[in-house]
Structure 1
Amino acid sequence: MLKDNTVSITSRSNLVTDILKNHAVQTPQATALVFEGIETSYDSLYTNVQKIAGYFQQKGYKKGDVIGLMLLNSDLFMTVYYGVQLAGLTILPINTKLAPPELDYIFNHSEIKGLIYDERLSETIEQIDYDFELKLNRQQVREIIDGPNTFTPIEIDSQDTASILYTSGTTGRPKGVMLSHANIVNAVEIWSEALQYRPTDRVYISIPLFHCAGLHVIGVGTMCGGAALVIDEAFSPDRTLQNITKERVTIFTGVPTMYSILLGKKDMANYQFEHVRKFAYGSAPMPHEVIKQLKESFPNIEIQNLYGQTESTPGGTSLTDDAALERVGSVGKALARTQIKIVDIEGQELPSNQVGEICIKGPQIMKGYLKNEEETKKVIIDGWLYTGDLGRLDDDGYLYIVDRKKDMIIRGGENIYPIEVENVLYQIPQVLDAAVIGIPHEVYGEVPKAIIALVDEGSITEQEVIDFAKTKLAKYKVPHIVEIVKDLPRNPSGKVLKHVLREQQV
């Protein structure tokens, strides 16, 4: 059954950078960013953004050139993000947790011209043989901001590619999701309305800004509402609790794991969070008991769930506070300007309460995958994004996800595709067969477990397998446990029966 929650919203911007510029003109002295206790106004931020844009212009970079952004959360991250786009270039935020082989593929596939990076990541970057035209560390970027670089306005179309974000695919190779200015503007306007961002809000983010949700739902979304973005470099339970109070945070955002960790701290009960009005979460399902505990501990704070994919910028559905406890397991209703439907294996729309593939349609759906028209055609059909998630819509239009993308593991909000890990394991000569599944974990929700069969019994140990994986994969993708077995269960066609492996873990 098709559910359409489309409403009329007057667009305020055509480009991502217009969002910032409008507030710099209308409310120049309002706080845009807060980082390590330092507040930056919208006017000052836009001035800094123009310096970055002017620098790239003077260096001769042209529309379509891709600039990589490999920074931890900071005020500088947002400054560079806007600056590169203001120059008409395409920004490529990169996961700072990736291992050298993963980065090597992204650099070469995207053909990035330049890289702006954190010096603390130099050792990883230096392991990659890639010929960058330009490399700038944080100090060099700050020198550019302090310099005399002058920006010259240029013509940018709303359909130009503003950003590329790589997301893992079931083929084992990351795919570059191309998002236009129009995609991002629509998504952040939709989320700004859904989360009811106000100019008086101070929105706290410690989830990575290099993720689509952190960047667009929280980062740019906050600024769309003219609010202040309070940035923490990374999640730290003690620091987070202190900063929420110290920085007068009104909206806290995170993944379910963060809430579980915070609730587990004995001193959390000592914090009243007098300014906080909303807890927002996404990236993974929130256990019902955690929601219940949050509501009981903080009855005056609203709880809101967010669901979407990088391919939808990400925008899909939201479960608001009024239904948080009543609609157990639901991710809410379709967002504004967004349609949701459930289809069967042949693409035919299904009625309410029947399980099928979740499809999303709206102005936030990506342009496509970079250099991968074949995969783009598979997931975007007649304007509909076929998510690969299985779910159902109830009679009231609430969406329930009944299974995740095939075999995907979500570790503390980070998506892990088993085939990526399996491909690395198969690089080990002693490994004959390999399968990776998710197993329950009290903190992260799930962690990857590798089950392998060897060419020769006793030829390699479990720890040696883990040690090898550490050299090829981001830390969060490395198998938490390795089990060596004689052989893996398969069906008559030779496919590994992962559901059998999962059942054996119980």
Structure 2
Amino acid sequence: MWVYTKKGNIAKSFEEEYLDKFTDISNRSSKLKNILLTRCTNKQYENICLDYLIEEADGEIPHIPLKGEDVVSILYTSGTTSKPKGCLITHSNYLFTGEAVSKSLCFTPEDRALIVLPLFHGNGQYYMFMPALTVGASVAITERFSASQYFKQAKRMRATIGSLFAAPIRMILNQSYDEGDKENLLRTIIYAQSVTPDQLYEFEQKFNVSLLQLYGMTETVAPPLMNPLYGKKDNMSIGKPIISAEVKLVDDSGAEVPVNKPGQIIVKGIPGRTIMKGYFKNEKATRETIRNGWLYTGDNATRTDKDYFYFVDRQKDMIKRAGENIAAIEVENAIMQHPDVYEAAVVGIPDSIRDEAIKAYVILKEGRGTTEDVLIEHCRELLAAFKVPDSIEFVNDFPRTSVGKIQKHLLKKFSKGNLLSN
């Protein structure tokens, strides 16, 4: 954990095995003034051991004046389509997201949130920790995500609410099924990103828990869109606006688009209160993202007359092929309907004639086998001709972020044979 002081100095806490590394950094950095060790039992380091210092502290609470708009953390975007940017998050931001999510999920003091994703990420902070803290619920935190142990940990810790991404959901489904995992106390698991209808059904049936898809970004703080906890849900959608959110879809000129027409998702908000304060040392990106009280997400969606939003794709993830705009996620979903496919990622690669060609990277299920021609024919049966991939490469894994999201900007850099290929 990095902590910035009022004077701009930095304290870093870490484990003993990294001591030499950060000692060297502190010798070369005028900003890094303090080093603290966590999980340290070595008496040699008592003067910098966090546990020891806490034990020896006198308990007096220093008076530190705080304001709601003060920045308390810098959370970095996931970096799936471009270089990560630091989002400035304030005290008010955290209080707002705690209130908004706790009300949307009906958190109570009896609930226990299960956090298996890194706490430097907005998911664990925004959607699990702050709502629990807001209502006085408890939190169970694991060392790391384990697909084989997820439900066993949930049972042992008596967790009632969880949060995952699509990749961890697929990883859990890929494990050998234990009938005992069905006997858990989880009442709902919120998740984000694309999961097929078959995967949704299998997950809910196997583990006796309701899944709720939502939509949010590090910049939006609270998720502006979520499937309702009670009543009709549609997990093929990214949900409806939560009680505190105002969401619109707009075209390139900023005009609101009609029902069932794609447009960019924009979220109304107050910087430093209901949306991020801005990007760290990046005023240009802040001005481009927050305009006239609206946060421009860069994501495209459609909306029905019932106010359900359906994700189309990130603007940076749209493939432009011979004058047609193609959503990579639509092609990915078609590929993943094939019984041999575990996961797919689709990108546009330069094409001298058609602007971009469609390239698919595919991970097969363990023990399964198929060919490029078979999958392309499979896509022809499900997609318009101009959306069918030009080529498919089979790989062992994708470049991913710390929470399992696919880094597509890195995929585009790889040529055939350079990407963890079989």
Give the structure-2-normalised TM-score: 0.69
Matched, 1:271 2:181: yes
Deviations 1:189-247 (A, max 9, x none): 10111121111112211111110111121122222121111110101133323222222
1:145 aligns with: 54
Write 1 or 2 for the structure with the bigger share of helix.
1
Matched, 1:136 2:36: yes
1:349 aligns with: 256
Matched, 1:287 2:196: yes
Paired with 1:404 and 1:288, the residues of 2 have a C-alpha distance of 21
1:306 aligns with: 214
Q: 1:339 aligns with which of 235, 243, 246?
A: 246
CA pair 388-236 structure 1, distance change in 2 beyond 3 A: same
- Letter of the 1:310 partner, please give it: T
Q: 2:106 aligns with which of 184, 192, 196?
A: 196
Q: How many residues align?
A: 335
**How does 1:19-34 map onto structure 2 within 5 Å?**
none
Paired with 2:241 and 2:283, the residues of 1 have a C-alpha distance of 28
CA pair 173-292 structure 1, distance change in 2 beyond 3 A: closer
1:483 aligns with: 415
CA pair 123-319 structure 1, distance change in 2 beyond 3 A: farther
2:370 aligns with: none
Q: Is the 8 A contact 2:105 2:229 kept in 1?
A: no
3-state SS, counterpart of residue 306 of structure 1: strand
Deviations 1:387-432 (A, max 9, x none): 0001111111111110124139999xxxx9x9xxxxxxxxxxxxxx
1:315 aligns with: 223
Matched, 1:182 2:104: no
Q: Is the 8 A contact 1:213 1:314 kept in 2?
A: no
1:395 aligns with: 305
CA pair 267-436 structure 1, distance change in 2 beyond 3 A: same
Q: Is the 8 A contact 2:127 2:163 kept in 1?
A: no
Paired with 1:355 and 1:216, the residues of 2 have a C-alpha distance of 28
Q: 1:223 aligns with which of 111, 133, 145?
A: 133
CA pair 233-274 structure 1, distance change in 2 beyond 3 A: closer
Paired with 1:484 and 1:209, the residues of 2 have a C-alpha distance of 35
Q: Is the 8 A contact 2:212 2:235 kept in 1?
A: no
- Runs (4+) of structure 1 exceeding 6 A deviation are 408-411, 435-438
1:289: Cα distance to partner? 1.5
Q: 1:253 aligns with which of 159, 163, 168?
A: 163
Q: Is the 8 A contact 1:198 1:226 kept in 2?
A: yes
* Higher mean C-alpha displacement, 345-354 vs 167-176: 167-176
Matched, 1:439 2:364: no
1:125: Cα distance to partner? 5.2
- Letter of the 1:398 partner, please give it: Y
Paired with 1:306 and 1:112, the residues of 2 have a C-alpha distance of 38
* Structure 2 unpaired stretches of 5+: 41-48, 319-327, 333-344, 348-356, 366-398, 418-422
CA pair 202-192 structure 1, distance change in 2 beyond 3 A: same
Paired with 1:275 and 1:169, the residues of 2 have a C-alpha distance of 34
Q: Is the 8 A contact 1:342 1:357 kept in 2?
A: yes
Q: 1:370 aligns with which of 252, 257, 280?
A: 280
- Letter of the 1:439 partner, please give it: Y
1:297: Cα distance to partner? 2.8
Q: Is the 8 A contact 1:250 1:277 kept in 2?
A: yes
1:210 aligns with: 120
1:338: Cα distance to partner? 0.9
Q: Is the 8 A contact 1:303 1:321 kept in 2?
A: no
- Letter of the 1:290 partner, please give it: Q
1:383: Cα distance to partner? 1.1
Q: Is the 8 A contact 1:187 1:314 kept in 2?
A: yes
1:181: Cα distance to partner? 1.2
CA pair 306-168 structure 1, distance change in 2 beyond 3 A: closer
Paired with 1:375 and 1:347, the residues of 2 have a C-alpha distance of 18
1:320: Cα distance to partner? 3.0
Matched, 1:164 2:164: no
- Letter of the 2:218 partner, please give it: T
Paired with 1:151 and 1:406, the residues of 2 have a C-alpha distance of 48
Q: Is the 8 A contact 1:302 1:321 kept in 2?
A: no
**How does 1:48-87 map onto structure 2 within 5 Å?**
68-69=1-2
Q: Is the 8 A contact 2:167 2:405 kept in 1?
A: no
Give the structure-1-normalised TM-score: 0.58
Paired with 1:224 and 1:442, the residues of 2 have a C-alpha distance of 42
Paired with 2:96 and 2:12, the residues of 1 have a C-alpha distance of 27
3-state SS, counterpart of residue 316 of structure 2: coil
Deviations 1:265-316 (A, max 9, x none): 333323233422112222x2222221111233345x3221221110111422
Paired with 1:382 and 1:219, the residues of 2 have a C-alpha distance of 31
CA pair 340-266 structure 1, distance change in 2 beyond 3 A: same
Paired with 2:253 and 2:219, the residues of 1 have a C-alpha distance of 22
CA pair 193-322 structure 1, distance change in 2 beyond 3 A: closer
Paired with 2:6 and 2:299, the residues of 1 have a C-alpha distance of 33
- Letter of the 2:216 partner, please give it: G
> Once superposed, what is the RMSD of the aligned Cα atoms?
3.9
* Structure 1 unpaired stretches of 5+: 1-67, 70-83, 91-110, 419-434, 444-468, 486-506
- Letter of the 2:290 partner, please give it: I
